[in-house]
């Protein structure tokens, strides 16, 4: 771990916007009356002509963002995670993601460490909502260096993304020299070990490293993985860890329902220790027009699909069959 | 430029196209399609700077149909304007069609924005008008909403935004048929007076007869001559206009005519016996 100076990831977001704004004239930053808190005020000062203040109106900000993006811009739409995702969910789903608009929803104040403002301002469901949307990229960086590295990658990519940042200062996880190694969609193995794996995201990554230090003194060698990209998730790395270390602990500043824990469980449950679960349902895509029965058939949700799934699983050699 | 009589004839054809699509799909929204048809025809044939041969022309005007469920009228208008063959309306709402149940910008030529979830298209259109101001592009952005749709809060957030930006390149049209799914707008959740509301938000409001081409053309002319503020045209319309048994009946918001009603409607829309024979023979 790099030195102990603590920086909030929202600070890194603000700095990134100013730096990136110099490189890209098509960058528009939008804000809903929180520029001091979500750190878009630096961009506002540097590029006032490309800063749009919508007032306390997150729904309008997100739909307008889609309109501006479809007019040839890349847009950073900024608010607190509670309001950007909570109030704005349907705009993000139908108007940004379904149209593949080049909007990055950048939300600060994610999770419990919002602190004193309490429950109404502490979102625990935002990652679950965002990762359920087809085509949405979701990042939750652990520190300033990884925040900037991942922000650059989502802004260079065409299409929607959700970026979650924290309010409170967090220890640095990565050195500047490691920034180039941080790759969107790839987990980062911070520690080796085969006794168990701790898979963490966001502010919980530093705590995972501390926990690994403590366990090492008890001769338990933990692997520690930073899953900074919740979607697309690095399923190969997670699967490998599950095979090699037997036990997995996940750590996230988010509800265990629908967040990192669920994402890891989906990978493990479907594939570990052998293919024992198949999931019938909408496989991470949008719908379309058609008759209900035609659609159920196209989306592989018929009775026969269930039958086939059972047969497919039964054709796999389960450990019990070998006994 | 088309004459008023020519525009009326095109609007008649668009209603026939829309109805054929809805009948073939056995689902869709005829009521709101027929109330908005004349507005769409006036825009696409006489008012807007567009080119069906070059739908992505940089300096084009854009129309967002925020009341996306009325897309049969939009598809009919785009087809009659030359974006695609009117016969394609017969694929409406069917699996694999470019003409989805609500408009899809990635599939259908001429559709500027995927809409359907009410209120959002209006706000998207404000965003496009802001972008045109920032980028110093000359194009106008038009957005059509229903009057019931004005009940969505996002409309008024966007209305404030449009006034703040002095969007004189933004012209909204309210298709004011006073009907929504559950009944009269004035009973379900009153939105009147619409003009006074927008004026209070800093807009220029113009009232027009939404089924009188000359009234619509005059309103668009006045709108384009307005500087320094966004403009709303409140077009008084009737749901289901053009087909007597659909007119002003909330029940025709979202249902298809049966075969008998289809023939009756085609007759009222001025189709010849030959046309009716053709349209009823091949569709089902």
Examine domains A6-171 and A185-271 and report if their fold is the same: yes
CB-based contact A161:A139 (threshold 8 Å): yes
- Residue A6, strand partner residues: A171
CA–CA distance, B284 with B273 (Å, rounded to integer): 18
Q: Quick one: pLDDT at residue A320? A: 54
pLDDT tens digit sequence for A228-262: 999 999 999 999 998 888 788 899 999 989 999 99
Q: Quick one: pLDDT at residue B85? A: 98
Q: Quick one: pLDDT at residue A214? A: 93
For strand A229-231 and strand A137-139, is the pairing parallel, antiparallel, or unpaired?
antiparallel
CA–CA distance, B282 with A312 (Å, rounded to integer): 43
Instruction: Calculate the alpha carbon distances from B228 to A68, B167, B204 in Å.
Output: 20, 7, 9
Would you tell me how many other CB atoms lie within 10 Å of the CB of residue A213?
13
Q: Quick one: pLDDT at residue B129? A: 98
Per DSSP, helices labelled H in A134-275 are 144-156, 204-217, 235-245, 260-271
**Class of A6-171 per CATH?**
alpha beta
* The overall pTM is greater than 0.90: yes
Long-range contacts of A294-299 (CB under 8 A, 24+ apart): A294/B95, A295/B95, A298/B95
- Of the partner residues A73, A100, A289, the one whose CB lies closest to the CB of residue B131: A73
- Of the partner residues A28, A98, A289, the one whose CB lies closest to the CB of residue B114: A98
B94 contacts on A by Cβ (under 8 Å): 289-290
Apex A263 CA angle, A182 and A108, nearest 5? 60
CB-based contact B124:A63 (threshold 8 Å): yes
Would you tell me how many other CB atoms lie within 10 Å of the CB of residue A211?
18
> B125 at the A interface (CB within 8 A)?
yes
Residue A276: which pLDDT band, with cuts at 50, 70 and 90?
A: low
Q: Quick one: pLDDT at residue A243? A: 85
CA–CA distance, B59 with A67 (Å, rounded to integer): 16
Kindly tell me if the per-residue pLDDT of A23 is higher than 80: yes
- Sign of the CA dihedral with B72 first, then B77, B83, and B88 last: positive
- Please give the residue of chain B at the shortest CA–CA distance from A65: B127
CB-based contact B99:B74 (threshold 8 Å): no
CATH architecture label of B4-282: 3-Layer(aba) Sandwich (3.40)
CA–CA distance, A110 with A84 (Å, rounded to integer): 11
pLDDT tens digit sequence for A281-312: 888 888 899 888 888 899 998 888 888 888 88
**Domain boundaries of chain B, sorted by first residue:** 4-282
CA–CA distance, B175 with B194 (Å, rounded to integer): 11
> B202 at the A interface (CB within 8 A)?
no
pLDDT tens digit sequence for B126-178: 999 999 999 999 999 999 999 999 999 999 999 999 999 999 999 999 999 99
> B157 at the A interface (CB within 8 A)?
yes
Stretch (H or E) spanning A59: helix A58-69
For the CA atoms of B197, B198, B202, B205, what is the dihedral angle to 10 degrees? -120
For strand B231-236 and strand B204-209, is the pairing parallel, antiparallel, or unpaired?
parallel
- Of the partner residues A59, A67, A298, the one whose CB lies closest to the CB of residue B125: A67
DSSP at A91: I
- Sign of the CA dihedral with B23 first, then B25, B29, and B35 last: negative
User: The tokens of B142 are what?
Assistant: 């038009």
Would you tell me how many other CB atoms lie within 10 Å of the CB of residue A218?
8
For strand B141-146 and strand B231-236, is the pairing parallel, antiparallel, or unpaired?
unpaired
User: The tokens of B23 are what?
Assistant: 């009948």
Catalytically active residues of A, by annotation: 58
Residues (pLDDT < 50) of chain B are 283-284
Kindly tell me if the per-residue pLDDT of A70 is higher than 60: yes
Residue A271: which pLDDT band, with cuts at 50, 70 and 90?
A: low
**Domain boundaries of chain A, sorted by first residue:** 6-171, 185-271, 279-318
A54 contacts on B by Cβ (under 8 Å): 157, 161
Partner-chain contact A60 B134, CB within 8 Å: no
pLDDT tens digit sequence for A143-158: 999 999 999 999 999 9
Partner-chain contact A59 B123, CB within 8 Å: yes
CATH code of the region A185-271: 3.40.50.920
Q: Quick one: pLDDT at residue A316? A: 74
Apex B190 CA angle, B187 and B195, nearest 5? 140
Q: Is B170 helix (H, G, I), strand (E, B) or coil?
A: strand
Residue count of chain A, please give it: 323
């Amino acid at each position: 771990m790099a030195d102990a100076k603590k920086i909030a990831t929202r600070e890194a977001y603000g700095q990134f916007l100013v730096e990136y704004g110099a490189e890209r004239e098509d960058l528009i930053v939008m804000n809903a009356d929180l520029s001091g808190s979500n750190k878009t005020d630096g961009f506002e000062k540097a590029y006032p002509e490309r800063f749009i203040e919508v007032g306390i109106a997150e729904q309008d900000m997100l739909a307008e963002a889609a309109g501006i993006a479809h007019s040839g811009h890349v847009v950073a739409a900024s608010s607190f995670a509670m309001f950007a995702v909570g109030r704005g969910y349907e705009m993000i789903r139908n108007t940004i993601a379904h149209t593949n608009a080049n909007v990055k929803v950048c939300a600060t104040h994610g999770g419990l460490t919002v602190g004193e403002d309490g429950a109404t301002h502490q979102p625990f469901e935002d990652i679950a909502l965002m990762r359920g949307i087809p085509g949405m990229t979701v990042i939750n960086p652990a520190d300033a260096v990884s925040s900037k590295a991942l922000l650059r990658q989502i802004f260079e990519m065409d299409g929607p993304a959700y970026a979650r940042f924290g309010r409170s200062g967090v220890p640095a996880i990565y050195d500047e020299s490691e920034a180039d190694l941080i790759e969107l969609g790839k987990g980062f193995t911070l520690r080796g070990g085969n006794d168990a794996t701790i898979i963490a995201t966001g502010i919980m990554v530093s705590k995972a490293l501390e926990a690994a230090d403590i366990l090492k003194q008890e001769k338990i060698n933990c692997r520690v993985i930073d899953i900074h990209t919740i979607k697309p998730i690095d399923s190969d790395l997670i699967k490998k860890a599950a095979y090699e270390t037997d036990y997995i602990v996940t750590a996230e500043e988010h509800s265990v329902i629908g967040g990192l824990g669920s994402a890891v469980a989906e990978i493990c449950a479907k594939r570990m220790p052998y293919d024992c679960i198949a999931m019938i349902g909408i496989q991470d895509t949008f719908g379309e027009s058609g008759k209900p029965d035609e659609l159920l058939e196209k989306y592989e949700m018929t009775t026969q699909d269930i039958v086939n799934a059972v047969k497919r699983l039964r054709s796999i050699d389960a450990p019990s069959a070998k006994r | 430029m088309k004459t008023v009589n020519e525009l009326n004839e095109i609007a008649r054809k668009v209603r026939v196209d829309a109805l054929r699509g809805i009948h073939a799909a056995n689902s869709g929204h005829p009521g709101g399609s027929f109330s908005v048809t004349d507005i769409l025809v006036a825009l696409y044939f006489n008012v807007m700077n567009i080119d069906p041969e070059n739908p992505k022309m940089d300096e084009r005007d854009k129309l967002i149909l925020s009341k996306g469920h009325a897309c049969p009228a939009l598809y009919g208008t785009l087809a009659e304007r030359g974006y695609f063959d009117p016969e394609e309306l017969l694929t409406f709402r069917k699996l694999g069609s470019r003409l989805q149940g609500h408009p899809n910008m990635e599939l259908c030529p001429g559709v500027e924005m995927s809409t359907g979830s009410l209120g959002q298209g209006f706000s998207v259109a404000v965003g496009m008008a802001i972008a045109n101001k920032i980028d110093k592009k000359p194009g106008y952005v038009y957005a059509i909403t229903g009057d019931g749709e004005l009940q969505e809060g996002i409309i008024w957030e966007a209305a404030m935004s449009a006034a703040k930006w002095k969007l004189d390149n933004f012209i909204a049209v309210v298709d004011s048929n006073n009907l929504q799914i559950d009944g009269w707008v004035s009973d379900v959740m009153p939105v009147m007076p619409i003009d006074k509301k927008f004026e209070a938000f800093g807009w220029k409001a113009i009232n027009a007869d939404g089924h009188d081409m000359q009234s619509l053309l005059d309103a668009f002319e006045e709108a384009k001559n307005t500087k320094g503020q966004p403009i709303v045209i409140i077009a008084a319309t009737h749901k289901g206009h053009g087909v007597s048994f659909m007119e002003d009946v909330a029940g025709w918001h979202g249902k298809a005519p049966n075969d008998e009603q289809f023939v009756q409607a085609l007759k009222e829309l001025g189709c010849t016996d030959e046309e009716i024979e053709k349209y009823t023979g091949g569709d089902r």
